Structure 1
């Protein structure tokens, strides 16, 4: 049930209680057998954007005919599983006047603030803009959160006071009480704690020393990071945390900027997990596709088949991986990333000057350094990480095998129905236990030192937890402001069959950029896009197999657009985790990565999604897109090593080493 904002407004509560009592008395006087009809109303509505009203536990009312009247226009509801729902209610004026009636008798009245549709974009755009301008995502999120709540409360003077008070008391608490959110929080703490132990016992330093013996230059280091990201394909969260923390010291040794490391980590996480057949993303994607297919008649293709066919048109995720490998193998960069690489290579400063601790390690980083005197044994880090990955993969299989929704015994279906969050929890707990036992068994650290190292690692993820919590709270406000409903309503009447995949891709990208949640965008858009895309094809008599590419491309547009928007947004969970695991400032990560993501997104959109919508073969679009990206890197990219004369480079090297 949505939160009742009037609960914390004593005067309004008193007035509403008196009004409810008077209304009940009048209803009882006019109709003795009348039942209580509590209805759930949205906090606000948007002008010209459809909204709905529900009445729970309405079984006792099924013998009646109930109507909701909005500004004089009556609507009849539908009863399903005890809930009476009134849909497609629209108001063109503010406030919206609502009346619930039955058999000519008024049961309840209400007024709801109706805002212009574009108002719903203000909090999200404010958060992104302030984060980039102030370089402080915490302040940006909190101010935007209060602004959004104030809008939900009607933008009154008293509403502002309630918004400030309820920002933490209501929205932050609600964000943390959602089970999936808390699973992410605990998972981050466990991974951070394990990293703390294997860093303090010399394990990560051992890995760094081993890889340093093999890799001879910066390009090889970047490729090693990319391949490690591709190898840990089963989940994007685990990917970011493991790869970032493992390769941080090695990339520092090779004078690779933290911005570059965070970019590689970020773009080999979600894009890989989204398009491979055996990952924790599959179950969710197939589920939301199936939600949309359930509303389509005369469509006999399974949700999993639609998902597999749509992967061919997932241009952005595939091209993002191709671009990372091109950048890593060539050693070339351009734009803000080139400047970051020049700084790191010529001065040895892998952190940007904007970071508060750029003059030296932060206190938590010092706590995570290897204890003086302990041997640097790589297996002390490799074994716990292998246990984490192995237990997670086995748990994914076992929980998928036990799922009642499993369609058959195929590996894809089993993993698609697995409980990914529980599996990651099992793996991270097992990894922590193995790291603890190995460290204690070799007497590298005492029990007290091991627990201190675990807490130091957990403390290092506190910032990302705070930012994630505020981002979740802001996402809830965007839901109450009907941001996605406005965007879909604004573009719904402009969809052309051949341009439909492109429009859906852009809409999904903007929603992900504004909300910072690719999964949230997929959960909201996919159940609507699937029937919408099919309805457009039916309306234009284009349901034959020769036009199914439009349907599949529209489905993939949601996935690809959501990932693209995620990569460009400072509010995205994957962006936050990649920056945190790589030890990079969040805003530095976003600013340096933005141009690369825009280039890949532009190529994927103009060379892939757009022509594919008109029937160009997907493989040709993918090939041309990859070649174009190679040409961009080849002609516009420059190596950081080649940007200064050799003599000057040697001087800078010597100065940096002596410093």
Structure 2
């Protein structure tokens, strides 16, 4: 539906990339939803303009976690605001307010969004593996070699075609319903998604677009396609559990804190936590362990609390974005139609550029606030 509507508006390769970026910015409530909804909506459109599936996955992934952390009504914001209250950094009910004050300091998220916009617009070129993938796509092969794509809804034709305006209204209504229902259920995306899925089935059935049986079949096929990325995510949880048992996070942070100053502390914490998140694929769990260690030290050094929150959230979004086996990277690859490793290698240079700029920014902010 969204793809059909977009095809009436998009007339060039650049426009298809910018439309993907814009959709990623709009679908901000959760990175899982972003990765799946955006890629599924646009990949056939970008295929028309010979955009590689790897570039599509990169654009989708770059507007997932980075966008979610700078919007205060996302699942990320609610989770981390709760952590701030649990660790005594913010008072009861004040977590979201403190979180909002830290949004300007979430350097990696801002740089990731800027870089992906420049890539989509064509200002920033293709590097390394992405250059090879784009050369293949421009030769007429958007889908990577040796990758067999499973369609979520294969060989399904709409029983009734709606007008462009009706398609837009359907898409907008269901996206708004998802956001409103998720917020209503206290940022519970599962409840919001279930309600929205149920309403979608009813709406499509009433409008005569798809039969009830066809939609149920598509839902179960979607579950089947998701088994591979979900199994990899489960492996990530095992790795996190091993890390927790070994105490790696606490050890690394405690080992470097004796050498810290107010100027370099935010940059070092960003770099250390970014590395740990990248290595363990734990974009949320590590911070349960890290916050009780990081914030007492930052207060003793006199480092701005919003700045430290910005450094931690930047590290979390980098890890989610860059890790080869993170949940959002796996879902972005699956949704776009490439393997997780193909996606990881092609986007890694851009993620590292954002990380490098973030380190420099945190050093500058630390110096300015010293």
With normalisation by structure 1, the TM-score equals: 0.52
Match of 1:389 among 128, 150, 175: 175
Asked if 1:353 corresponds to 2:148, the answer is no
**Paired residue for 2:23?**
228
C-alpha RMSD of the superposition: 2.8
Contact 2:283 2:316 in 1 (8 A): yes
Contact 1:498 1:614 in 2 (8 A): yes
Contact 1:509 1:561 in 2 (8 A): yes
What is the deviation of 1:580? 1.5
Asked if 1:610 corresponds to 2:363, the answer is yes
**Paired residue for 1:497?**
262
Asked if 1:563 corresponds to 2:314, the answer is no
Q: Secondary structure at the match of 2:241?
A: helix
> Residues of 1 paired with 2:197 and 2:356: CA distance?
42
Residue ranges of structure 2 left out of the alignment (5+ in a row) = none
Asked if 1:452 corresponds to 2:217, the answer is yes
> Residues of 2 paired with 1:476 and 1:388: CA distance?
37
What is the deviation of 1:372? 8.0
- RCO higher in structure (CA 8 A, sep ≥6): 2
Flag the 1:209–1:584 CA change in 2: closer, same or farther, 3 A: same
Flag the 1:221–1:552 CA change in 2: closer, same or farther, 3 A: same
Asked if 1:588 corresponds to 2:342, the answer is yes
With normalisation by structure 2, the TM-score equals: 0.90
Residue ranges of structure 1 left out of the alignment (5+ in a row) = 1-202, 400-417, 538-547, 618-659
Contact 2:39 2:336 in 1 (8 A): yes
What is the deviation of 1:269? 1.1
Flag the 1:431–1:293 CA change in 2: closer, same or farther, 3 A: closer
Cα displacement string for residues 47-105 of structure 1 (whole angstroms, at most 9, x for unaligned residues): xxxxxxxxxxxxxxxxxxxxxxxxxxxxxxxxxxxxxxxxxxxxxxxxxxxxxxxxxxx
> Residues of 2 paired with 1:450 and 1:290: CA distance?
42
Flag the 1:279–1:375 CA change in 2: closer, same or farther, 3 A: same
> Residues of 2 paired with 1:366 and 1:300: CA distance?
43
Contact 1:511 1:562 in 2 (8 A): no
> Residues of 2 paired with 1:445 and 1:398: CA distance?
28
Bigger proportion of residues as helix: 2
Flag the 1:260–1:616 CA change in 2: closer, same or farther, 3 A: farther
Asked if 1:370 corresponds to 2:156, the answer is yes
What is the deviation of 1:495? 1.6
**Paired residue for 2:273?**
508
Asked if 1:481 corresponds to 2:246, the answer is yes
> Residues of 1 paired with 2:261 and 2:32: CA distance?
37
What is the deviation of 1:521? 2.5
What is the deviation of 1:368? 2.5
**Paired residue for 1:314?**
106
Flag the 1:310–1:440 CA change in 2: closer, same or farther, 3 A: closer
> Residues of 2 paired with 1:337 and 1:264: CA distance?
12
> Residues of 1 paired with 2:23 and 2:97: CA distance?
29
> Residues of 2 paired with 1:283 and 1:374: CA distance?
40
> Residues of 1 paired with 2:20 and 2:88: CA distance?
39
What is the deviation of 1:393? 2.8
**Paired residue for 2:40?**
245
Flag the 1:376–1:388 CA change in 2: closer, same or farther, 3 A: closer
**Paired residue for 1:289?**
84
Flag the 1:439–1:379 CA change in 2: closer, same or farther, 3 A: farther
